[in-house]
Structure 1
Amino acid sequence: MDNSPSLLALRLFVRVAMTGSFIEAARFFSLPASSVSRHIAALETQLGQRLLFRHTRAVRLTDAGERYYQDVKQILDNLELANEQVSGGASGPRGLLRINAPVAFGRRHIAPLLAALQSQYPFLNIELTLSDAFIDPVQEGADVVIRVGALRDSSLVARKLAPQRFFACAAPAYIEQHGAPAHPDQLAHHNCLVYKGTRGIQPWYFRQQAAPELFQRYDVKGNLYGNNAESLVEAALQGQGIVLFPTWLLYEALRERTLLPILTAFEASGEPTLEGIHVIYPENRLRSSKVAAFLQHLFEQIHERPYWDD
């Protein structure tokens, strides 16, 4: 009798190890949590090793479990790539492509591109997850992650998709009532609509145009803070205050002049240094035809000078 672990048990174990949760693994594979627990218990019995420490609020790997996880994950990744390359050889990319992107950028600039890609490759399924949290694609099982802003040190592959340009702007009605600041110091006397995300309240940064010096930080204040950039832009459109965001978010309002740029003698930024938009993915995804197809499509649609900066 063959006592080798089942492929499902190995996949369940890897998912639990990645997320630290039996419930999340059960949700991911559409199984009852009790079934996940039984499969992993059977796996531990077959191996004669305890792989996981189970606690009320968390699950973590034992030393043996950590070693086993690294080896098994690599094997499963290679198996997935092998299956994809064989099955997609004649019909093009197929299978499930998991993409993670920030909420506003993903909704505006990633989601609209997918219909054409899937029309070209009808056997390609896509799972698009929009989140402003910084995720590790290896831990979350994503094939491709779009990152806006600073990159954390990582062994992942990163390709720059586009630069970012920032503008401070306000609605004509706000400027008519309150005037436009001539210098960033004067923002202290204006109502600034401020983004507050997972890293806290976002300061604003300015420097003289084309100046070599570093950006100067301004801790602006106002009567509205939010963790959704589009809601702050909407408030600005209603004349409530001033916002500072990149052109990929503001370009329609700037083009239609429903928001007007201010402080144009200064270069603006939402970070201490101007950071671009990057695509990141694990190195082994370079051999994936579905990742390659998506990246080619993405870079064809968003050029070195992206359409939102035209």
Structure 2
Amino acid sequence: MDYLMAMRAFIRTVELGSFSLAATELDVKVSTISRHITALESDLGAALLNRSTRRLHLTEAGTLFFDRATQILLAVEEARAATASLNESPRGVLRISMPTAFGRLHVMPHIKDFVAEYPEIRIAATLTDATVDLIETGDDVAVRIGSLTDSSLVARRLASHRRILVASPGFLRQCEPISRPRDVARQQCLIFTLQSGDCWYARRSDDSSTEPLQIAVSGNMRANDSEALQGAALAGLGIALLPSWLVGDDLRAGRLVVPLAGWDWFAARGPEPAIWGVYPPKKIVSPKVRSFIDFLARRYGSPAYWDRRSEAAVG
């Protein structure tokens, strides 16, 4: 007996309420449907259906078997679909949401190579610093930075999100000396308004086990955009705590420098933030989404290429 076929015949007979309708849908004879169900009953040692001239009624055993068999067939179909998707060619429109600055610097420059590798994919990109609802907008995938707050999304970590304390050489020449983290509190600091509170946190780079020091910061400029703070730091307006993916070129060129070596800096307490690829939960991840996230992970590397460059510049 083909057990899966017999279960399918039984389930469709129950759902359609008719041997003949089930036979038509499955493209077999009515006698074949009857034979499958009889074989199941013989194997199980219990009647599954009570047959009358007008209706079919499930027995107690039939109800139990129907529920379990339905789950089994659904699992089989999902397994088949998931396996088949591995061999599908990624295609179609890929709708991507990404933060504006990070997307401009570290996603969009790689799109040319991505579509060259997957020519049947078309890109629809949205650059926004708002946290969009992927279900509501219909986006397939998003790049997110920081700590994830939406636990309903499936997330893959793409890279660390490190921040570096930076200032221009000109600013450091005219400000008070900085020899320890507490000295930063006396300087003009450029504050990111979306961070929680006017505090930065510092910990020795060679001692990750200790609790970071809390440094209260203040200054005469605030902004809700990292690139605006980068511009202010380049102009010599103060010290900024900026993402490593943003300031790597400035550090290599000497336009910005690290005023206090040997310390790691954070914008908040808690787990280390990261850069994520997120997508809505689905039983089967589409090939285009899986291909895009895999591509970014390969392209960024570990550690990410911007962190390797920043570390080389800092020395």
The 2-side partners of 1:95 and 1:187 are apart by: 51
Aligned to 1:232: 229
Aligned to 1:207: 203
Within 5 Å, give how 1:111-260 maps onto structure 2.
111-197=108-194, 203-209=199-205, 210-260=207-257
Aligned to 1:275: 273
The 2-side partners of 1:124 and 1:108 are apart by: 21
Deviation, structure 1 residue 265: 3.0
Deviation, structure 1 residue 136: 3.0
Change (3 A) 1:219 1:138: farther
The 3-state SS of whatever aligns with 2:122 is: strand
The 1-side partners of 2:153 and 2:293 are apart by: 15
Change (3 A) 1:109 1:202: farther
The 1-side partners of 2:215 and 2:232 are apart by: 21
Aligned to 2:282: 284
Change (3 A) 1:93 1:165: same
RMSD: 2.3
Deviation, structure 1 residue 162: 0.9
* CA deviation vs aligned residue, 1:232-276 (integer Å, no higher than 9, x gap): 111111111111012111111111121111222322112213211
Identity of aligned residues (%): 35
The 1-side partners of 2:168 and 2:105 are apart by: 21
Aligned to 2:296: 298
Provide TM-score, normalisation by structure 2.
0.65
Change (3 A) 1:191 1:168: same
* CA deviation vs aligned residue, 1:26-79 (integer Å, no higher than 9, x gap): xxxxxxxxxxxxxxxxxxxxxxxxxxxxxxxxxxxxxxxxxxxxxxxxxxxxxx
167-176 or 148-157, which deviates more: 148-157
Aligned to 1:49: none
The 1-side partners of 2:285 and 2:93 are apart by: 15
Contact 1:170 1:236 in 2 (8 A): yes
Letter in 2 for 1:236: A
Aligned to 1:266: 263
* CA deviation vs aligned residue, 1:112-146 (integer Å, no higher than 9, x gap): 11111122333322121122222332233221111
Letter in 2 for 1:171: S
Structure 1 outlier segments of 4+, above 3 Å: 199-203
Contact 1:164 1:247 in 2 (8 A): yes
Deviation, structure 1 residue 299: 1.3
Aligned to 1:36: none
Contact 1:285 1:291 in 2 (8 A): no
Change (3 A) 1:137 1:172: same
The 3-state SS of whatever aligns with 1:97 is: strand
* CA deviation vs aligned residue, 1:188-218 (integer Å, no higher than 9, x gap): 3211111113x66563211233142222333
Change (3 A) 1:298 1:258: same
Deviation, structure 1 residue 290: 1.0
Letter in 2 for 1:268: W
Change (3 A) 1:285 1:128: farther
Deviation, structure 1 residue 283: 2.5
Change (3 A) 1:241 1:248: same
The 1-side partners of 2:166 and 2:284 are apart by: 40
- Number of residue pairs the alignment of both structures matches: 223
Q: Where do 5+ consecutive residues of structure 1 fail to align?
A: 1-81
Aligned to 1:105: 102
Change (3 A) 1:229 1:122: same
Q: Where do 5+ consecutive residues of structure 2 fail to align?
A: 1-80, 309-315
The 2-side partners of 1:180 and 1:253 are apart by: 22
The 2-side partners of 1:232 and 1:98 are apart by: 29
The 3-state SS of whatever aligns with 1:233 is: helix
Aligned to 2:45: none
* CA deviation vs aligned residue, 1:130-172 (integer Å, no higher than 9, x gap): 2222233223322111111111150321111111322111111
